[in-house]
Amino acid sequence: MAAKPAQAQDGGQIRPSFARNMSTSASIIAGTNAHRFCVAPMLDVSDRHFRYFARQLTRGARLYTEMITTGALLHGPRERLLAFDDAEHPVALQLGGSEPDDLSRAARLGEAAGYDEINLNCGCPSPRVQRGAFGACLMREPALVADCVRAMRDAVSVPVTVKHRIGVDRVESYEFVRDFVGTVSEAGCEVFVVHARNAWLDGLSPRENRTVPPLRRDVVAQLACDFPSLTFVTNGGLRTHEESLAQLARVHGVMIGREACENPWMLAEVDPLYFDRAAPCAARDEAIVAMRPYLRRQVEAGEPPRAIVRHMLGLFNGLPGARMWRRTLSDPVALDRHGADVLDYARAALSRAAARRDERDEQTARSP
């Protein structure tokens, strides 16, 4: 059933008092929402090895693939592109494209491969994506996005969701994103992952587009108010659990990207904080132990060790020996020499570095 926006009292402008007007039902709904905590699709980051590592730290978070274009999936090495481990569930396949027929075929392949959700990218601002006429520029064509969603929903039984921005270029009208959501929801999309920034398609790099356009989380919260039957996940600039948990009083879920990559141990706090259950790993060393068999299987299958351990570089960030851990796992000689045992080698190097630091501190303390 198509979602209809709640009647606005101010011509569609964001109401400053929306936070006071929202009931606690949003946070209650979020308690059982499948999208309560999500890890973002990130190009060159959220591959199957990253997702497997993330799953050792959290069982509840919803994981997303890197964006895969319909052209690559329909005409490229689809088995390799769609490969994932059963341990990754729940995991969503993000597609990039703008042709309804191609998207329906790609979605069908994703469902057959076992993915739990198909997500359409309407938020990526990169020039390469723009040349393909998809990503964030699709927000200018909500009717086309609706056709794409409808085609995918007709092809698969798993949920079809959309990830998008709150605007394109310098268009900051709330009506723009409200009408986009309204049109796309009429095609049956019920979950919207919203990066709370505009996509500036000219003059900014993809990296700058993650930081330069102002964050406007109130827009996402207003969408949740105006479309109470839909699910909204806020994304963009979230770095701490304190920030994320605060958002759950306003929207149904949060999505974290770069912080999960740079500081992966923060994922070990997700299950206790968001899903009221124990973390699968209580200590970083437990995460290393959990990754050993996977690393060995992958190396024996011909995968270079670096493809797996690069996602673990930030595991000890902020702790003594973290630099040695990163340096060892990035060292081509160590990777080549130790192969599937490189995690144990790096852990021993970290311990030695931490011990030397403790010894220096002790000597300094004894010095007159």
Query: What is the radius of gyration, based on Cα positions, of the chain?
Result: 22
Query: DSSP per residue over 274-343, as a string?
Result: HSSS--S-SSHHHHHHHHHHHHHHHHHTT--HHHHHGGGTTTTTTSTTHHHHHHHHH-HHHHHHHGGGHH
- The CA distance from 244 to 105, in Å, is 35
Amino acid at 29: I
Catalytic residue among 124, 148, 189, 225: 124
281 a catalytic residue: no
Cα–Cα distance list, 113 to 78, 154, 209, 268 (Å): 10, 17, 32, 28
d(CA 70, CA 64): 16
Q: Would you say the C-alpha torsion 299, 301, 307, 312 has a positive or negative sign? A: negative
Catalytic residues: 124
